[in-house]
Amino acid sequence: MTIYPAIDIKGGRCVRLTQGRADQETVYFENPAEVAALFQAAGSAWVHVVDLDGAFTGEPRNLAKVADIAALGLKVQLGGGMRTRATVEQALAAGVSRVVIGTRAAESDAFVGDLVQAFGPKIAVGIDAKNGQVAVKGWVDTTGTGAVALARRMDTLGVATLIYTDIGTDGMLTGPNLAAQETMAAAVKAQVIASGGVAQLSDVTALCALAARQANLHGVIIGKAIYEKRLTLADALRAALV
């Protein structure tokens, strides 16, 4: 299983939001590249980066900071404000390895299909759900679309990677929603990256055990638990190799 330590950028700084709420912000680092270097030193090959300003405004605002992270030699998976082909191309030009489409995926299958045709596995889709329903625009709006239904549509389009975030557990340090992640992975052929709720090392081992049964459960994103020192990235990386 691949561990994706998370870096959320808002106003150029590394922050975390509780359940995606802009008014529930904690600043951890002034320079996102600084924490990225720490993740790299711990042994991580990937980082999951979210441009929160992009998610809220609809266009990326922190690509220079993202480029600094990519320049370290890390593989960057980037989401937040990726709503036009031009912004996707800008992100890839900045050194991003995989671009995550969120809001636009819920709005337009054609948009995602065109990107997959052009960029293949460099395109991922992020599916963020509240009570099983897709949420968009920085989690501000909830759609009437079911998360699994959207995932199956994206799977049919050839999307190679789906990132499934259970908003109810995100940033809450209450443990991942294992049942929801298993349901999602079982519904599609694409590789699934779990996001939300990891609080301690046993949560990582539980997801690894689930991945042993559900082979396309490919990875997990870990954010607040690392920043709050509930677990170390090095320990999570070791657990994922077992």
Q: Is 128 a catalytic residue?
A: yes
Mean pLDDT of 76-102: 97
In the predicted structure, residue 92 carries a pLDDT above the cut 80: yes
In the predicted structure, residue 60 carries a pLDDT above the cut 80: yes
CATH class entry, domain 2-241: alpha beta
In DSSP terms, which residues pair with 6 in a beta bridge? 48
- In the prediction, which pLDDT does 123 show? 98
Q: Within 10 Å of residue 87's Cβ, how many Cβ atoms? A: 20
Q: Is 8 a catalytic residue?
A: yes
How buried is 129 (Cβ within 10 angstroms: 0-12 exposed, 13-18 middle, 19+ buried)? buried
**Tens-place pLDDT, residues 144-198:** 789 999 999 999 999 999 999 988 665 557 789 999 999 999 999 999 999 989 9
Q: State the Rg of the chain over Cα.
A: 16
Domain locations in the chain as residue ranges: 2-241
Of 53, 128, 166, 203, which is the active-site residue? 128
Of 8, 51, 68, 166, which is the active-site residue? 8
How buried is 146 (Cβ within 10 angstroms: 0-12 exposed, 13-18 middle, 19+ buried)? middle
Instruction: Please report which confidence band the pLDDT of residue 31 belongs to, taking 50, 70 and 90 as the band edges.
Output: very high
